[in-house]
Structure 1
Amino acid sequence: MSDRSHVSEIEGVLNGRQSCRDPLVAASWSRCVNQYGMDPARREPAHIVTESELRVHRDRIERLISTARSGLSTLYRQIAGQNYVLLLSDAAGVCVDYFGGEEAREPLREAGLYLGSDWSEGLAGTCAVGTCLFTGQSVTVHQDDHFGMEHTALSCTAAPIYDHQGKIAAVLDISLLRSPIAKSSQRLAMNLVEATARRIELANLMDMSRRDWVLRLSRCPEFLDVDPEAAISLDGSGRILGYTHGAEALLRFGADPETLVGRHLDTLTDIGMDDLPDRMRDRPREERIVRLPDGGALFVHAIAPQSVAARSPLPSRAPARTSPLARFAGPEPKMDALINRAERVARTDIPILLLGETGTGKSRLARAIHSISAPKGTFRTLECAGADRASLDAAFEPCAEPVSLFVRGLEDLVEPMQPVLVTKLRANPSVRTITSTRGPLEGCIRPDLLHRLRGVTLEVPPLRERHDFDWLVERLLRYRAAGSRQLTVAARAALASRPWPGNLRELEHVLDTAVALSDGPVIEEIDLPPSEDRSMGRTAEPVEELSALLDACGWNMAEAARRLGVDRSTVKRRAERMGLRAQGREA
């Protein structure tokens, strides 16, 4: 098509003349003139951002670029030898990653099919990347579909990549410098970019949801486990935290245009969180079905959080440890580093300072260190909060065996007793000290005492920062209930989501209470004592409050569950246990 014919067709479309162009293309032409003030007769070269600007754009979506790399490499291998180039553009339209033949580097750069090119519609006119960004839809802009005369030799096909919150994060584009054949020849290109974009969205969701449940979705079972159509991530109460774009079509069926985030699984399907283990990969695909409110069905593949996935009764450490410290933690990088260091210094006479919040297990760690350093020795504890001369004398009584002295809570030692402890330490150099503290000691402990007690510092991480939570829960349950209790998925997720200001000590008390309150071998979420840090701003829902809530919801269990932030089945069981029923209903 000549330049004059191209300009004439654009003017005709703007004047309402019938056109065989894709409606997305015709609408973009209109925006180019009426919204962006562009002239179709004017030739504009490709817009390439500076290197510093490109770094800014790449830094903004560095994580997505890394996640997408594998999919882009696979796609490029599929089209190798066909002269295509791949562009990954950010939400501003700037190309932040690129796959293409170096033999045509300069022509590609001049055409804008290169790293750093800006394909935003308001700058480049009608083009695959810019029009895809504007509409949120996949589109092929073939040759003179392009608004600008500089680009009418190109054939470009693009698909949006949505983030886990339903917003466009990037665009994947596959382009040719020249395509002498019809637009219909790009249908395969469209299928390829859409499939790759879907897989990148899934990979991004999985990367963002390592500590959450993920439910993969497909209308057919054949490719469910390897290439699902969509996926959602869920918190412990069944609320959707994130999703791939395809989940909207599979789950909403014409619902209002609000995001899926925040909706509960049991309002969209016939299952709740406690049903997810029955939909995991070890079950036959034909049995992993969920029903939808309109009567339809989907095949699903549930994937447990990484911290929950390995669910042997007591996961073993790797490598296996035989020292008393082996029972101190499960598979956990921070604890591995702590234990390795503790094992090395335990066999020396160096004083040890244990730093950590209340309840992190400092006393237990001190005893384990003593068991390594002096297994036949005597372990004594000096409680600094109530230390006086008599307790200090008792702590340093002569002993024929090696003595490990655990100085507990050094920050609580009153100032008059500090020089006394210094004197005792000078007179008893053979006593091995292991000291604990909840925080910094400078300013509250005299320097000469601090220097004697702080040889090596071992920092014990709080429970909320550890990744062996399930290992700890299983171990504590084994000792507290002789292995006779198991947590439901919802109960375990509810525990994992707590802030645990009391750390291991608080966890022990919570499990003791849950064991006492549970009716049978299964501990449910309602058996757990309330957390003091609930988003509801209260510690419990007593009978009167739950009854009032159910009345306000017209005894709609799903609505009550949404308001409480729990699963529908949890509300039902709680109401049954409390003996609640709607007025006018028989017991």
Structure 2
Amino acid sequence: MPRQSTISEARTALEAGLSLPSAVLAPQVAASWQRCRALGLDPRASPRDVVVSFVEVKRRREEEATLRRLALAEMQLLYAQIAGSNFMIALGDRDGMVLDTLSDREFADSAAGRAIVPGSLWGEGERGTNALGLAARERAPVAIHGLEHYFSDHGHLSCMAAPILDPRGGVLGLLDASCSYEGRQQHTHALVRMAASQIENGLIFQESVGSFILAFHPRAEYLDTLSAGLVAIGRDGAVSSLNRAGSALLSGLPARIGCRFEDLFEARFGTVLDSMLGGGIARICDRAGSAVFMVCRRIGQDGLVGAKPSRTPMAPRPAPQPAGIAAEFVCEDPPLALAIAEIPRVLALGLPVHLVGETGSGKEVMARHIHGVSGRSGAFVALNCGAVPEALFASELFGHERGAFTGAREEGALGLARAADGGTLFLDEVAEMPLAAQATLLRFLDGLEVRAVGATKAVRVDVQIVSATNRDLKALVAERAFRADLYHRLNGMTIALPPLAARADFAAIVRHLLTRIAPGTAITDAAIRRLASRPWPGNVRELDAVLKRALVRLDGDRLDENAFVDGGPVGETDCCASCRPSLLSRHRCREIRTVYRDTGGNASRTARLLGLSRTTVYKHLDRPGPSDGACAHDLGRRNAIPPDLERL
């Protein structure tokens, strides 16, 4: 970057109407200044403050709904990385109109913060030389510091912007970070470029439905980074999308939309794909002779390429996802979305799916999503493996004949495995199973044959197995607390659900839950930022309770940041004695007590809002209710709640 003194000299020449000194400014800045001069803009005057109507902002937001979903998640992450640095982050459309902003309070209250608002236009014609407008024109990342801005009013700002390219290489939007010139950070420009690249990769996954998405790079260890090329290939072998990194890696080759895989690489598409579908990495050469490593990141909807049958008999392709599934499931978190994209192929192969995540992170919601994607006509049946006594495990899973044992139902019982025939059997809390029950489950998984307790004949069932736990099964295997053979049987594909605080789609989850709880109620961006700053040990379940509690106190049609003001540390006495030893139990108990207070001591309404029974509410209040007993968090083990009624 030119020295500040030379920029000052160039600025003096600009404001005096003289020729600009050569080799002082960056070429793109000098060219921008000349264009602004040609437009008759006075660098000493204030720029035109052009802001379109909110109706127009809303229309453009709706037009770019996919872009906004991905970008807002990245903006949250970027904000967390640079928070406290007097920054504002802005998302603009392809024309340089601001759609959304996130900022520190100090910057938002400044003159610049009041100028960078949704609906403001930042093209050269309105704002002179600036990063947002110049990035749109140049189709490349731009940094404009201090006096490099055309208008002197912007001389105290440092702005860094990167274009967001659509899967065909056109400018779809712009991402900008602005701060006071004195407070700028050198690494921020790199973070903005990385965020734009992440959004671009997300767009390829969103818009290339049914295509094979391949990652490639000359070094295998870079395949999981933003340096990797990403290319979407249709079933016919034609390129439908290529990211910016991929274009750079294939420079000099005919890398364009519509070209064929074989035009770019010295290998047949079908042959390379066959070597990758098992999760392997292929090593091939591009047409320029450079070696690259390649891996399949998403399997096309129609499976293998070409008409010839696979060497391995395949199960029928899953039926289309039933209506309503998407509305019940939010996943705009890029790493999780990559894993979910592989589910149809895994289900077609009949492999079990294993879910790992903290309590409340949405494992049962994910399991139900997998059931919906499978297209199976049978039921979704859940078994809480940790809530069933060892002696009753076989009868719960396989059912029993009439009078098979003392206490058996007179009419017998079907069993959960047969109830799930043709559907999905969800084995929740699988790490909590006693070793004897693990042996029983392993025998069932080996042949999917069910013999009811007391029966002499076995019946074969067709079930999709999904298991879940919040513990590390591999570590339990090493400790000999979990059978290695059962672990390998369940671990056909593992999906790790991130904790809520680490989800890139936190804002989308908040809005989804709020729409489900109270349709028509809005929530401000500031409120979501306040929620995002919390640790969320109870994950999605905790967020659900916090939103419901805020709705109890709602006076109006929207939730703002004041609805989520923390009340300070809560004393140990603000939870029941049974819950105090456990952090999560303490938090849950305090939520129940807080909602109870907010409802004016109405236990029935508290139970409705939190989705609990009145008995559970009373137990957490340390007062007599419909029944007495222990705190709700251990009722599942003590009172043998039917496992198919246990929730995640």
TM value normalised by structure 2: 0.45
Please say which structure displays the higher CA radius of gyration. Answer: 1
